[in-house]
Amino acid sequence: MNLIEPALQWQPEFQAIRRDLHAHPELKFKEVRTAEVVARNLQQWGYTVDCGLAGTGVVASLTVGTSKRSIGLRADMDALPLQEINHFEHRSVHDGRMHACGHDGHTAMLLAAARVMMHRKQINGTVHFIFQPAEEGGGGARRMIEEGLFKRFPCDAVFGLHNWPGTAAGTFGVTPGPMMASSNEFEIHVHGKGAHAALPHLGVDPVMIAVAIAQNLQTIVSRNCKPIDAAVLSITKIHAGSATNIIAQEARMAGTVRTFSINVLDMVEARMREIIEHTAIALGGSATLSFERNYPPTVNNPEMASFCADVMEEVVGAENVDRRIEPTMGAEDFSYMLLEKPGSYAFIGNGAGGHREMGHGAGPCTLHNASYDFNDEIIPIGATYWVRLAERFLSEPA
């Protein structure tokens, strides 16, 4: 492994910051203390800090030399509404709040990179360190953009990094094109006509309509989606009725749709509307669909993904980099940044859980799990990746 010396040497300091953030998790758009910790450290290392984009967002910039080239590096800062079950010293001090997605680690790695880059000053251009709130369902990235992130801090390209438990520490993964899915929620309201269950001919049974809709919707992925395009349509709720001798008046259904492209998403939503409305009419009732698009798909610029992979290879060696990692159906609000700028999102191995024996305590170590903990050993690896990425990007001719 080819790590930058100060990143390695200062690991204990960044580990302490990471554990302090872990002990004080804050939920989306409420990252007040976290933003203060980030800003205070950056100021100590000589940065001028901009606070307040999207409420609690923090941006710091480093300009060296005369080049107009610029790069944005992004970390997320928010925690999850989850009760931590770990017993180690740095466990959450707040009931029902926990850093179970490792955003404490992402913040620490980017802080480490900021400190190392200020120390080295081996760039020609500008690096913007972007600490965003509310990745977990709040769309903090979108709000930062709406409030002028890229106008005030212009970036030629922007990069994101997420820890990935289960893959070895000292490894990276990235892929050109879609890396994570769009996430969308829907609700269906079926209107029938209530009646005595012994006299069905006097009513319109919304249960039968709901069942038919559920069946017919499954033809979208199997019959309308191009076989090489991926989509998920899951109906996760069906509710109707109150007694065994009453045909209900209405039924409600809900679920999620995931896709890797907006085109496929447009098609799925349009077909859902047709199938839902016409199935209900065919059975004598009516139905409406409300469809809410949350995060768009996270789609890496192929050139930037390849650039990332080259930098990763420089840090951990080609044998430890998966240049075509399998995309996941999870979602990420870094997708909004990739809609604005070329760039790439990547995974850094958080380890298979071995770090837990070194004082982290036992238990599974998967994202959004109540016993998760970020692996502090990878802070210098992530920090070195950030530093080399920025230095290499900014050394290329404009």
DSSP strands (E only) in the chain: 49-53, 57-64, 70-76, 125-132, 157-164, 172-173, 177-180, 182-191, 195-196, 231-240, 246-247, 250-259, 286-293, 298-300, 321-322, 343-349
Per-position x/- string for 302-331, each x denoting binding to Zn ion as judged by CB under 5 A, each - no binding: ------------------------------
At 339 the three-state DSSP class reads helix
Measured from each CB, the residue nearest to Zn ion is 101
Q: Which is nearer to Zn ion, 97 or 271 (CB)?
A: 97
Q: Which is nearer to Zn ion, 101 or 113 (CB)?
A: 101
Q: Give CA–CA dist 29/43, Å, rounded.
A: 22
Q: Give CA–CA dist 326/328, Å, rounded.
A: 7
Task: Supply the minimum distance, in Å, between the C-beta of residue 136 and Zn ion.
Answer: 5
Contacts of residue 182, defined as CB under 8 A and 6 or more positions apart, other chains included, come to 257, 258, 259, 260, 261, 262, 265, 293, 294, 295, 296, 297, 331, 335
Per-position x/- string for 247-286, each x denoting binding to Zn ion as judged by CB under 5 A, each - no binding: ----------------------------------------
Residues numbered 79-118 forming contacts with Zn ion, rule: CB under 5 A? 101
Q: Which is nearer to Zn ion, 52 or 81 (CB)?
A: 81
32: number of Cβ within 10 Å? 12
Task: Supply the minimum distance, in Å, between the C-beta of residue 155 and Zn ion.
Answer: 21
Q: Which is nearer to Zn ion, 101 or 315 (CB)?
A: 101
Q: Which is nearer to Zn ion, 28 or 69 (CB)?
A: 28
Q: Which is nearer to Zn ion, 101 or 248 (CB)?
A: 101
Task: Supply the minimum distance, in Å, between the C-beta of residue 57 and Zn ion.
Answer: 16
Task: Supply the minimum distance, in Å, between the C-beta of residue 21 and Zn ion.
Answer: 14
Residues numbered 230-249 forming contacts with Zn ion, rule: CB under 5 A? none
- The answer to whether 90 touches 109, Cβ cutoff 8 Å, is no
Task: Supply the minimum distance, in Å, between the C-beta of residue 82 and Zn ion.
Answer: 10
Residue showing tokens 């044998």? 319
Contacting residues toward Zn ion, per CB under 5 A:
101
